[in-house]
Amino acid sequence: MRLIRLASLRFVPLLLVLVAAQTALSQSIRFLEDKKLFVLQGGPVSYVFGINERNELQHVYWGGKVVRDADFQPVKSTREWSGLDLSQAYTPQEYAGWGAGLYTEPALKVTWPDGNRDLVLHYESHKIAGDTLSVLLKDISRPIYVELRYTVYPETGLIERQSRIENRGKTPFSIESAQSANWTLPDATGYRLRSLGGRWAGEDQLVETPVKMGMQVLESRRGGTSQQSNPWFALDQDGNTDQEHGDVFFGALGWSGNWRISVEETSMHQVRVTGGYNTFDFAYTLAPGASLETPAFYGGYTSGGIGDASRIMHRFERTKILPDGSGLKTRPVLYNSWEATEFKVDEAGQTALAEKAAAMGIERFVMDDGWFGKRNDDHAGLGDWNVNPAKFPNGLGSLIKKVNSLGMSFGLWVEPEMVNPDSDLYRKHPDWAMHFDGRPRTEGRHQLMLNLAREDVKEYTFHWLDQLVTNNKISFLKWDYNRNFTEPGWPEVPVDQQKKIWVQFTANYYEILDRLRKKHPGLEIESCASGGGRVDLGVLKRTDEVWPSDNTEAFDRLDIQRGFTYAYTPHIMMAWVTDVPNFNGRSVSLQYRFLVAMQGALAVGSNLNKSSDEDLAESKRFVAAYKEIRETVQNGALYRLTPAADTNFIANEYAAEDGKQVAAFAFLHSQQRGYGVSPLHLSGLDEQAVYKIRVIKTPRRSPDGTVGALTDMGTLSGAYLTHHGLDLTLQGDYDSVLYVLEKVAN
């Protein structure tokens, strides 16, 4: 006994060392003092950088998890290749100031009043607090400090990077480029860049381009996030990856103003991604004592292909970005009046729509544009946010009461940053619209933009929104934004402050959203901008859902939704079923339209007053079927079962987090020469389990001819569904099918 105790005591120090080592390894951020290395670890990802002999922060590694500290050596700057290829240009700095011999994209560029433009940032100190590391950098001689923040998200391995630039001196200086981060990828050639481009009614088109020596820039110069390019990227090695396999590096910026992401391959084949505020027309004067925060730039890595990269983003957005736990709930099924009544809204018409919507199982009724001022078309009224008395003689109160009594919550459309020249607000405050003195004011959709960067405009805007929500039982705002900046002048402030409009406008927009949410807990907000013009991780911190596109035509929408979900979770993706013919003059079946929309947060936007009884009854069944799968669709894991290049046959699978339910959708655009489609191999199933299967098929082939009802189809094993696959019976043009699988036995 005594011997055993003595022996075990002898092992105590070793045990303590082991426990300490284990605790150290389980920490998401460590500093290896002897090697001057920072080791960040989250999920399956390691990210390592160090302090080199020049005292610069130098990147070491980003990729799959490496736990052995001994593998990493202290960093040394890259050697000079020639007098033309200097060490400073090729040393992969974590955050490079433009100065010394830097020829690649800087993270920060400044000009001092004395003309000095040289900036060389060196390590000063650091602090680790939980999952966040702050590293302080300082210029070699001037009092400009940069705090770099790295936050590690242990579940996903995503890293959030942000910088704060501080003037601790006595003179102001001007910032010409303020980026959030430089990301360095493993040295390799043959990278492929994926990004999302598009236009109004054609958002989120997946763009794939090879990365070659030189620079590709993704950006918005429009003042807002934009339809034309979205602040998301993914890089992989073409040929070595597919949907579910291979290394992918990806990231997204959280900023709804002018943004920029550059992807640069140096002449030494190093690939760097730099992102933050757009440098175009950028100038931000930093007064003594002042600081500027850059947007958050999130970066991730997976070895599981672009499919897994998307799923990581989806989970992250739902659990860490969306506000107030919104991403953990499910979205209500919504009705929106826009395509039904456009500007012709009034109490009787909306009440009739609400009654039909409630009977269909809709849970939220949203009245769109047209309820305020002299808003009878898009020429007038924006800015006059008082209820139109001719359309609503009893105010909004009696319509809201009616909607609530039907068991639905009430939502309202607003477009707070805009003004029509034909409005009382503009007649009273023409100077509130963005403009350059003495220059024409370019209209878009007959409207101008208010300069929300102004303190008085911001306060006014917050005030009327607050009043609207305080005085009416409004659960939801659809916040629209239907044009971009033009003539972005701010003549009321000194010239050296005027370009701050690019940053301050968005900062004030965020502030209004934050204050509204704080004052009205429970209020939900949709971000809409003529469709998907304001979708990014900055606005998603303050809104609950987004409108991806004004194009609600189902076949077009399939493609838009596919692009959208590369970066963003289906949880927030509003998808309406609307009347046909729609865009492109196309008419597809009610089933096709529902099955497309059931892949996001379902809504209906048809003119229910004109719908046949049959359509209303079928819609009710689709809504009921959707409610059975919405948790899986909105909060589950999305697998794309068909390649992005295939627009003829598109299939997507959604698997519940607990593995108990799977919903698989498939769509055939057009059949040729009688060929069918191959069986659908499902992903992520438990091969040992048995699944009960129900189906919604095209009526002519559904067992009892009932449109929209889920009908039983027997059982199949997980192994069969994975390896043999589901036999599809899609035929003809615009055919569609939904399979719902329930795990019944292991």
Binding range to ligand GLA, per CB under 6 A, among 89-97, 188-196, 527-535, 684-692: 527-535
Closest CB to ligand GLA among residues 246, 563: 563
Annotate each residue in 547-586 with x if it binds ligand GLA (CB under 6 A) or - if it does not, as one string.
Answer: x--x------------------------------------
| Least gap, CB of 377 to ligand GLA (angstroms) | 10
| Least gap, CB of 531 to ligand GLA (angstroms) | 5
CA 125 to chain centre: 33
DSSP state of 720: I
| Least gap, CB of 443 to ligand GLA (angstroms) | 15
Question: Cis peptide leading into 581, omega within 30 of 0?
Answer: yes
Is residue 414 involved in binding ligand GLA (CB under 6 A)?
no
Closest CB to ligand GLA among residues 38, 335: 335
Nearest CA-CA partner of 226 in 193, 210, 202: 202
Closest CB to ligand GLA among residues 97, 381: 381
Is residue 368 involved in binding ligand GLA (CB under 6 A)?
yes
Is residue 369 involved in binding ligand GLA (CB under 6 A)?
yes
Site for ligand GLA in 199-258 (CB under 6 A): none
CA 103 to chain centre: 32
Nearest CA-CA partner of 729 in 703, 706, 692, 690: 703
Name, in order, each residue with C-beta under 8 angstroms of 97's C-beta and a sequence gap of 6 or more: 106, 107, 108, 109, 110, 119, 120, 121, 139
| 634, 638, 643, 646 alpha-carbon torsion, rounded to 10° | -20
| Least gap, CB of 341 to ligand GLA (angstroms) | 11
Check if the beta carbon of residue 317 is closer than 8 Å to that of residue 572.
yes
Annotate each residue in 474-493 with x if it binds ligand GLA (CB under 6 A) or - if it does not, as one string.
Answer: ------x-x-----------
Closest CB to ligand GLA among residues 131, 443: 443
Around Cβ 113, how many Cβ atoms within 10 Å? 10
Q: At what angle are helices 455-471 and 501-519 packed, to 10 degrees?
A: 20
Q: Write out the catalytic residue numbers.
A: 480, 550
Please report where in the chains the tokens 């009327």 appear, as a residue. Answer: 464
Binding range to ligand GLA, per CB under 6 A, among 184-192, 528-536, 585-593, 628-636: 528-536
Number of chain positions touching ligand GLA (CB under 6 A): 11
Is residue 384 involved in binding ligand GLA (CB under 6 A)?
no
Binding range to ligand GLA, per CB under 6 A, among 511-519, 524-532, 554-562, 713-721: 524-532
Around Cβ 304, how many Cβ atoms within 10 Å? 18
In whole angstroms, what is the distance from residue 394 CA to residue 402 CA?
12
Binding range to ligand GLA, per CB under 6 A, among 71-79, 235-243, 327-335, 526-534: 526-534
Tell me the one-letter amino acid at 564: F
| Least gap, CB of 603 to ligand GLA (angstroms) | 11
Is residue 530 involved in binding ligand GLA (CB under 6 A)?
yes
Tell me the one-letter amino acid at 609: N
Closest CB to ligand GLA among residues 50, 383: 383
Name, in order, each residue with C-beta under 8 angstroms of 10's C-beta and a sequence gap of 6 or more: none
Q: What token pair was written down for 704? A: 């009892």
| Least gap, CB of 412 to ligand GLA (angstroms) | 11
Q: What token pair was written down for 727? A: 């036999």
Q: What token pair was written down for 293? A: 């925060």
In whole angstroms, what is the distance from residue 33 CA to residue 349 CA?
71
| Least gap, CB of 345 to ligand GLA (angstroms) | 11
| Least gap, CB of 562 to ligand GLA (angstroms) | 20
Check if the beta carbon of residue 615 is closer than 8 Å to that of residue 594.
no
Around Cβ 287, how many Cβ atoms within 10 Å? 11
Q: What token pair was written down for 282? A: 């950028």
Is residue 388 involved in binding ligand GLA (CB under 6 A)?
no
Per CB under 6 A, the list member of 312, 468, 512, 528 interacting with ligand GLA is 528
Closest CB to ligand GLA among residues 251, 416: 416
Is residue 531 involved in binding ligand GLA (CB under 6 A)?
yes
Annotate each residue in 336-355 with x if it binds ligand GLA (CB under 6 A) or - if it does not, as one string.
Answer: --x-----------------
Check if the beta carbon of residue 335 is closer than 8 Å to that of residue 353.
yes
CA 438 to chain centre: 38
DSSP state of 722: I
Closest CB to ligand GLA among residues 316, 413: 413
| Least gap, CB of 103 to ligand GLA (angstroms) | 43
Is residue 417 involved in binding ligand GLA (CB under 6 A)?
no
Question: What would you measure as the largest C-alpha separation in the chain, in angstroms?
Answer: 96
| Least gap, CB of 560 to ligand GLA (angstroms) | 13
Is residue 413 involved in binding ligand GLA (CB under 6 A)?
yes
In whole angstroms, what is the distance from residue 375 CA to residue 430 CA?
19
In the bound state, the residue with its beta carbon closest to ligand GLA is: 369
In whole angstroms, what is the distance from residue 575 CA to residue 552 CA?
8
Q: Which residues pair with 324 in a beta bridge?
A: none
Closest CB to ligand GLA among residues 483, 571: 483
Closest CB to ligand GLA among residues 138, 222: 222
Check if the beta carbon of residue 452 is closer than 8 Å to that of residue 378.
no
Check if the beta carbon of residue 744 is closer than 8 Å to that of residue 688.
no
Closest CB to ligand GLA among residues 413, 592: 413
Binding range to ligand GLA, per CB under 6 A, among 47-55, 174-182, 503-511, 525-533: 525-533
| Least gap, CB of 368 to ligand GLA (angstroms) | 5
Nearest CA-CA partner of 666 in 589, 733, 728: 728
In whole angstroms, what is the distance from residue 276 CA to residue 7 CA?
59
Closest CB to ligand GLA among residues 483, 500: 483
In whole angstroms, what is the distance from residue 276 CA to residue 148 CA?
13
Which residues contact ligand GLA by CB under 6 A?
338, 368-369, 413, 480, 482, 528, 530-531, 547, 550
